[in-house]
Structure 1
Amino acid sequence: MPTTTAARGVPGTTVLTADEREVLYALGCGLGDAEIADALALPAHVVAERISRVLGKLGLSDRAAAVVHAFDCGLVVPGQGPRRPTRTPGSTAVRRTGTASGPWLRVSLLGPLRTSLAGRPVDLGPLRQQAVLAALALSAGRPVSRRRLLDDVWGREMPDGNVVPVYVYRLRKSLRLGERPDPVIRRDRYGYALPRGVAEVDVLCMEDLVTRSGEAERAGDLSEAVRLCARALELFRGEPLAGLPGPLAESERLRLTGRRVALAQRKAGWQLTLGRHAEVIAELSALTREEPLNEPVAATLMHALRRGDRRAEALAVFDRTARRLADDLGVAPGDVLVRARRAVLRGDGTGTGRVRAGAA
């Protein structure tokens, strides 16, 4: 149940987080706790906690008052929000009816490509056809020309015939919900597009969470910044776009993998400032096993170990990383790793390894 752009700025809901606005919307639509948990794929206790926060922040006495508030502030419009969950056969997912946002579609790219329609997995056909949908999902609602799709998905291996229109036609059929006539993939004179609001794309959700975490940092709420950053990292399910062919998929794999590492460092910097050294050590120890040549990650782990009075382990991280750099790349450790080692040996408070807000 995605939060609409309009809902974000609704008067009377600005004190709520996006997650809390989702719950208020669901209450306004007449859904009970179990139905909200089902719709948002959340445990029942989390739903109860969010409802409690909504009531507290808005100064409302009970659920009935929340329903009235949802209508009064325009978050739910009479006749346009479902009064009961609308379900498709064999599905427990809820989708909004009477809106122009299209079918309830999710596209997950932060791992192997996964697509679900009204809660059910969708078979997207051949790999190149899947890559076409991925390219449209990554365009964030902007039209992509036929020529650009050919370059992004096929590169130098240009196909014969009208393969792009054929693949788009097949995707439209696969992604159509029930008897709805409007296609998920739209076309205009600029090309094909998966318009914003039609699908929930995990890459865009991740970037929204990152933006909100930066806002929380600037507001001085590092705990909230850590929480939001953690949610962004949880969206990663392995190698992004794993197995998809084409130049775009390859470049996005590299970019999003780097994005994940940068976010982990950013979160670690905030955690160190909050004194949560044990969390940083556990999380970055796992990340250094995945990224053994990443010097900034190793340096941040060393600072966390030093702050936790585990100097020997911190120096072991330096030695291990230096050996891998020499064996795999034939280079010596860089300044960031050398400075971390000096800080460990001195045992001082310099070189905290904190990541700047804009680094991610």
Structure 2
Amino acid sequence: MTDPLSPSNAHPSSATHPADLSFELLGEVRGWRDGVELPLGAPRQRALLAVLLLRSGSPVGRDHLIDGIWGDTTVLDGANLVQAYVSKLRKLFEPDRAPRTAGGVLARVGGSYRLSLAPQQCDLGRFEQSVADARALRTAGQPDAAERTLAAALSCWPGPALTGVSGPLLDVERTRLAELRLAVVEEHAELALELGGHARLVPHLHVLTAEHPYRERLWALLMAALYRGSRQADALAAYQRARHALKENLGLLPGPELRGVEEAILARRPDPFARAADRDRAAAPAWAPDPADVAAGSGAPVPDRPRLTLVGGGPLAVPPAPAAPGPWSTRATRLAR
């Protein structure tokens, strides 16, 4: 089922897509016309714009706007406020439009309002398109290009989304967008791990698991990255930390994936994420931790097998993080969050 709030699901006519307008939601709600930032007004007016941007191309009812922005708060003149905010936004978007003429960008449709923009005119639309492109590249057997595409998309998300606006609908959307971003962070980390970036990933995954201690996928990625760096003992210690967080705080035990990674590490299997059938069919693993290093850390005897090398073990470029406070600080990595 598609998300009706996703800009990628809207396809308004290209005739109503002025190329001189662009907007941001993945941080503060901001807008530009002809490269000049627009004064979007008071927080409620920005909130109304944010709802319209999230529903770009689709009519949004006036009552839906009032409920989504004010919620249960008593507002006697909500309809007039919405109309006033829309009027001010129209003047910002189309200053040359003649008075009392229909808006081309922000139009009234019966008792609703519709903002018509191309997906690429909003940073959320561009992000979603980049994620779709990366997944297509990965399916096509181009993991390097997919990893670079996801990295570039994540670097353009300063976060947290919808900063400076509030309301019941926007609070729900803020949670949805945070989940979307974190899922893409995990996807990017998995790709980077496949390409031999385990050494660079470890510190960033330590940060992420501290910020999201119940996110089992992050723990699994951290364990795999440590294991691929010949740090079997540290990988198993990470599993114990994950198990403790889940059991003590939620009363839960680790799920099948996390337990499977632990079992693979204990068995010293080459790929902790591979399924049993995949392992049986694999003629030769592409990599494995250095047996000498594993034995040195665990006290176990060194098995009689050759040392294997990583596939795609080139350096992983990490651009500087935006200077933002709180858990969205990336600690100088494109992967944090």
The two structures share one fold, judged by TM-score above 0.5: yes
Equivalent residues of 1:112, 1:242 under 8 A apart:
yes
Question: Residue 140 of structure 1 aligns to a residue in which SS?
Answer: coil
**Residue 121 of structure 1 corresponds to which residue in structure 2?**
37
- Structure 1 residues 188, 156: CA separation in 2 closer, same or farther (over 3 Å shift)? same
Q: How does 1:274-353 map to 2 (within 5 A)?
A: 274-352=195-273
Alpha-carbon separation, structure 2, partners of 1:312 and 1:272: 19
Alpha-carbon separation, structure 1, partners of 2:191 and 2:32: 35
Letter of the structure 1 residue corresponding to residue 167 of structure 2: G
Q: Does 1:246 find its partner at 2:167?
A: yes
- Structure 1 residues 160, 198: CA separation in 2 closer, same or farther (over 3 Å shift)? farther
Structure 1 residue runs of 5 or longer lacking an equivalent are 1-98, 355-360
Equivalent residues of 1:103, 1:198 under 8 A apart:
no
* TM-score between both structures, scaled by the size of structure 2: 0.68
- Structure 1 residues 353, 122: CA separation in 2 closer, same or farther (over 3 Å shift)? farther
Equivalent residues of 2:25, 2:50 under 8 A apart:
yes
**Residue 173 of structure 1 corresponds to which residue in structure 2?**
91
Tell me how many residue pairs correspond in the alignment. 256
Deviation at 1:195, TM superposition (A): 0.6
Alpha-carbon separation, structure 1, partners of 2:257 and 2:34: 48
Q: What is the percent sequence identity of the aligned residues?
A: 36
* TM-score between both structures, scaled by the size of structure 1: 0.64
Equivalent residues of 1:107, 1:116 under 8 A apart:
yes
Alpha-carbon separation, structure 1, partners of 2:37 and 2:166: 21
Equivalent residues of 1:140, 1:204 under 8 A apart:
no
Q: Does 1:132 find its partner at 2:48?
A: yes
Structure 2 residue runs of 5 or longer lacking an equivalent are 1-14, 276-337
Deviation at 1:296, TM superposition (A): 1.1
Higher relative contact order (CA 8 A, sep 6+): 2
Equivalent residues of 1:217, 1:225 under 8 A apart:
yes
Q: Does 1:151 find its partner at 2:72?
A: no
Alpha-carbon separation, structure 2, partners of 1:160 and 1:199: 37
Query: Can you list the C-alpha shifts for 1:219-246, whole angstroms capped at 9, x where unaligned?
Result: 1111111111112212221211134211
- Structure 1 residues 187, 277: CA separation in 2 closer, same or farther (over 3 Å shift)? same
Alpha-carbon separation, structure 2, partners of 1:227 and 1:353: 24
Equivalent residues of 1:226, 1:267 under 8 A apart:
yes
Equivalent residues of 2:17, 2:105 under 8 A apart:
no
Alpha-carbon separation, structure 2, partners of 1:127 and 1:208: 28
Alpha-carbon separation, structure 2, partners of 1:158 and 1:216: 50
Deviation at 1:257, TM superposition (A): 0.9
Alpha-carbon separation, structure 2, partners of 1:139 and 1:221: 33
**Residue 17 of structure 2 corresponds to which residue in structure 1?**
101
Question: Residue 344 of structure 1 aligns to a residue in which SS?
Answer: helix
Alpha-carbon separation, structure 1, partners of 2:119 and 2:177: 23
